[in-house]
Amino acid sequence: KILGAAGVLVGHPFDTVKVHLQTDDPKNPKYKGTLHCMKTILLVDNIRGLYRGISSPMMGIGLVNAIVFGVYGNVQKLSENPNSLMTHFNAGVMAGIAQSFICAPMELAKTRLQLSKYIDNQPKFKGPIDCLLYVQKTEGIRGTFKGLWATILRDIPGFASYFVSYEFLMQLKEKPSVPYVLVAGGCAGMASWLACYPIDVVKTHMQSDALGKRAKYNGFVDCAINNYKKEGIPFFFRGLNSTLVRAFPMNAACFFVVAWVLDFCKKNGIDMIENPNQNLNVVNLDNLTHAYFQNDFGKDDTLVRKIISENASEQHESALESSYGSFLDYYHNDQIYESKIRNSQLNISNTTNQS
């Protein structure tokens, strides 16, 4: 949740610019480009204008991330080859579909709040909850999920390309450094937007459209065709520059928080394994069974991948782990205990033979 919130704080101003550019009138444009749009919003509404609608993604980011990584991890777990690029692709597709049902109403509220000051017939909302309650009251539950299919169509290629490109870049380096991981995350974020951006433009137009009888579009296809007839191909790439600029620092902020959290855990004695050559690969050992570590996995990074992909954690803690306070203490004492038993058995055997 902290990781996602950091990304939202860094990236939301660029998202606001993206939405304004996507919905700008091409025949009578207000903005000349990304920087001009940002400057105009600041002049009209100060810094507050760039952060309008941020409460919606802030409220939902924890749940969205839980769904995304929960589905992603379980699809990997069920796969015969968890680390293949095809598995990452399939896991990304399923994660994208699953989180869309939360993301669609969340982004509906965000978009309407971002544009509320600039649309004359747009009701002025106090926040995302007020916005969604108004939509539900006037248009029913169907209005709350306006743009759902567009969100699903966007997030299928978006999440699939993100996870595949990130994993591909990580596999190129045997021992990736923290800067390399940051760059890989940023590049993966940009790749995901390039894969789904035209669909995102259509989704934004649908979600910013008027409600009920005043609506301009009958659906996703109608919105795409009508705007293509008016503007051609450029319609589908409006605001792309600001989106790509946003993607890199947003992912960089997320990984920076990861590094900070790891450092915090290390300083406070939280029981974690950290590969010294891969600073961001960590796993909690509290609930792992003794037998699991008797297998020979070779390098530390292989062990970490094995634990993460197979989700081999056992949901119980042995009495000896509690007594000695950590797994390593338990393992050490267990080996001593077994050694004493073997010595005792040898002594008894020798005594018997002597008799």
Which pLDDT value is given to residue 280?
39
Residues 157-186: what's their mean pLDDT? 87
Residues 132-149: what's their mean pLDDT? 89
Residues 136-140: what's their mean pLDDT? 86
How far apart CA 166 and CA 59 sit, in angstroms, is 26
Mean pLDDT value across the chain: 75
Instruction: Please say whether the dihedral angle defined by the alpha carbons of residues 63, 68, 72 and 73, taken in this order, is positive or negative.
Output: negative
- The alpha carbons of the chain give a radius of gyration, in whole angstroms, of 26
Residue 90 pLDDT grade (very low, low, confident, very high; cuts 50, 70, 90)? very high
Question: Rounded to whole angstroms, what are the CA distances from 329 to 256, 323, 335, 340, 341?
Answer: 32, 9, 10, 17, 18
Residue 75 pLDDT grade (very low, low, confident, very high; cuts 50, 70, 90)? very high
Residue burial 256-269, b: 16+ Cβ < 10 Å; e: rest: bbbeeebeeeeeee
Q: Which of 75-84, 121-130, 231-240, 282-291 has the lowest mean pLDDT?
A: 282-291
Which pLDDT value is given to residue 68?
87
Q: Over 50: is that where the pLDDT of 277 sits?
A: no
**Which contiguous run of DSSP H or E holds residue 170?**
helix 148-171
Instruction: Report pTM.
Output: 0.68
Between 333 and 140, where is the model more confident?
Answer: 140
Q: Are 64 and 105 in contact (CB under 8 A)?
A: no
**Token code pair at residue 300:** 């530390």
Q: Are 178 and 259 in contact (CB under 8 A)?
A: yes
Residues 64-80: what's their mean pLDDT? 87
Condensed to tens digits (0 to 9), the pLDDT of residues 217-266 reads 888 999 999 999 999 999 999 999 889 988 887 776 665 665 566 667 77
CB atoms under 10 Å from CB of 280, counted, come to 17
Q: Are 89 and 136 in contact (CB under 8 A)?
A: no
